[in-house]
Amino acid sequence: MTSVQMSAKDEMVEQFLDYASRGDLANVSTMISHSSQLLNESGRQGWTALMLAARNGHFDVIKALLLNGCNKFLVNKSGQTAYDIAKFWGHRHIARFLASSGDVTLPGILPSNKSTENETYFSKEYLNRMSDKRTDSEWLSAKQSSPETVFIVFHNLDPLVTTEPEERNDIQSQLKLYRFGRDSVKKVLENSDTVVVFLGVEKQECSPSSLVSNEDGLIAWFALNTKKNPTESLKVTASNSFFLTKPMPMLLMLNEDEAGIVAQARSVLAWHSRYSFCPTCGGKTKVDEGGYKRTCLTDGCKSLQGIHNTCYPRVDPVVIMLVLHPDGNRCLLGRKKSFPPGMFSCLAGFIEPGETIENAVRREVLEESGVTIGPVQYVSSQPWPMPSSLMIGCFAVAVSTDIKVDENEIEDARWFTRQEVMDALVKGNQAVFSMPPRQAIAHYLVKHWIGINSNL
C-alpha cells in the first residue's frame, strides 16, 4: 500500500470516528453502507466509533453500529470497553443496553456469511405437504385408491428400503425408499394395526402434471407403519429390499430428497406409536386429519374443547451450539460417554418451557461446561427424526474461558484450535479427535465456522 492510500484510509477512519463522536447518525450509516470495515476501526488511543458514541451518549449511533455487527468487546489502550466508557460517563441506559445479553451484537469473531436454508441433511422438502387437504377425507380416500399414489412402508418405525444391484458396493447414500403402488399395500391398509399418514404431493417440478393421468395431476404420498412384520402381506418385487433396523447410522445413508421425507414420516409415525391414548384423560383416541391429529373418544374430555397440543404431533426443540472462544480462533467441543472413542461434538440440550433459544444456549453451555456465553447467533436448523427433535444450530460467543464439566452429562470438554478442527474434518483417523458425520448439524456448524463449503 502506498503512503497516499494509507493517508486516504486514515482520513476516512478519522471522519467516521468524528461522525460517531458527534452523534451524526445519517453520516455514520452512510459510511457503514459503503465500508463495513470501518465498524471496528480505531483512532488515537484505540478508541472505536462505538466507544466514542458511548462516551458522548449517542444511543441511536450505538444501536446502528451494533445492528451492523460491530464488536462490542474491543478495548481501548486503557483496557476499557464501550460498556465501561458509558458507565464511567454516567450514560446508564447505554451501559445497560451494551451489557444486555439479548441485544443484537454480532462481534467480529462470528462469521459474517449468512447460511442458506435447507442445507442440512433431513431438511429438504421434496413434497408439498398440502395441509389443507388433511381435512378433506373424500380427497384423501380418492388419492389412496389412485394408481399413481406412492406408499412407503415402515415396520416399527424402520423404513423399507432397497438398493440397486450394481450399487451394492457403495451402500452409502445409495439406499432408496421402496415405493409401493396401491395394489401392493392393499392388505396392509386393511389391517387395523396400520397407521396411515398423508405426507403431501410431489412438487410440480418433480412430476409435471402432463405426465400424470389423474384428475388434479397431483401425485400423493402416504406413509404406513405396522407393528407386525408386513412382509408377507406386501407385494415386494425387488429381492434386495430390507427394513432399516438400525436408525443410527442407517437413516443417514439415504439420498437427500428421501431423507427429508423420512424426517417427516418417521416423526409423525413415532408420535402415533408413543401416544396411543389421550394424554389428558387416558381414553381411547382415533386418528384424524390424514394422520396429523388424534382425537379423544371420551365425551367431555378437556382436549375436545379449544386447541390442545396433545392432539397434534409433537416436536422437541433442541439447541446445538458451536461455542467460539473470545479470541475467535478456538471453539469448544464436548463428548458424552456414549460417543464413539475420540469423538467430540457441539454441546446441545433441550429447550425448556418458557425459554428463548438464546437463553437455552446460555443455560446449557453454562450447565455442561461452566463457560459463560454472550452473543448468540442462529445459523441453521435440522429436523432429527429419532424420534422428533428440531435441532436449532447456533454460534455462541464465550465471555469466559475456564471449563468446569458437568460430569453427569459430559465426559470431557475442550477448546480446539481451527487447525485441530480442520485436521479432524480432513485427516480423519490421524487427527487428535474425530467429528460427528457430515450429515449431523454439529459437523455443518463447524464447517460453517471455519468457512469450508458444507458439501465437501
| Positions in the binding site for Mg ion (CB under 5 A) | 348-350, 364, 409
- Which residue in 102, 208, 249, 283 binds Zn ion (CB under 5 A)? 283
- Which residue in 185, 234, 318, 394 binds ligand NAD (CB under 6 A)? 318
**By the rule CB under 6 A, 348 interacts with ligand NAD:** yes
**By the rule CB under 6 A, 436 interacts with ligand NAD:** yes
Residues in 383-412 that interact with ligand NAD by CB under 6 A: 389, 391, 409
To ligand NAD, the closest distance from the beta carbon of 349 in angstroms equals 3
| CA distances, 45 to each of 79, 95, 362, 455 (Å) | 10, 21, 33, 44
To ligand NAD, the closest distance from the beta carbon of 318 in angstroms equals 4
**By the rule CB under 5 A, 351 interacts with Zn ion:** no
| CA distances, 393 to each of 201, 262, 287, 440 (Å) | 29, 20, 33, 11
Between the two ends of the chain, the Cα-to-Cα distance in Å is 35
To ligand NAD, the closest distance from the beta carbon of 389 in angstroms equals 6
Pick from Zn ion, Mg ion, ligand NAD, none: which does 301 bind, CB < 5 to 8 A by kind? Zn ion
Pick from Zn ion, ligand NAD, Mg ion, none: which does 81 bind, CB < 5 to 8 A by kind? none
To ligand NAD, the closest distance from the beta carbon of 441 in angstroms equals 5
Pick from ligand NAD, Mg ion, Zn ion, none: which does 442 bind, CB < 5 to 8 A by kind? ligand NAD
Pick from Mg ion, Zn ion, ligand NAD, none: which does 278 bind, CB < 5 to 8 A by kind? Zn ion
Pick from Mg ion, ligand NAD, Zn ion, none: which does 281 bind, CB < 5 to 8 A by kind? Zn ion
Q: Shortest CA distance to 384 belongs to which of 200, 243, 247, 273? A: 247
Q: Report CA Rg, the chain.
A: 27
**By the rule CB under 6 A, 370 interacts with ligand NAD:** no
- Which residue in 106, 251, 301, 394 binds Zn ion (CB under 5 A)? 301
- DSSP for 311-340, please give it: GS---EEEEEEEEEPTTSSEEEEEE-TTSP
Provide the grid cell at 311.
392432539
> How does 8-45 read in b/e, with b if 16+ C-beta sit within 10 Å?
eeeebbeebbebbbebbbeebbebbeeeeebbbbbbee
Q: Shortest CA distance to 381 belongs to which of 353, 359, 348? A: 348
Output the CA angle 52-55-59, nearest 5 degrees: 85
Stretch that binds Zn ion, among 271-279, 346-354, 381-389, 434-442 (CB under 5 A): 271-279
Binding-site ranges for Zn ion (CB under 5 A): 278, 280-281, 283, 296, 298, 301, 303
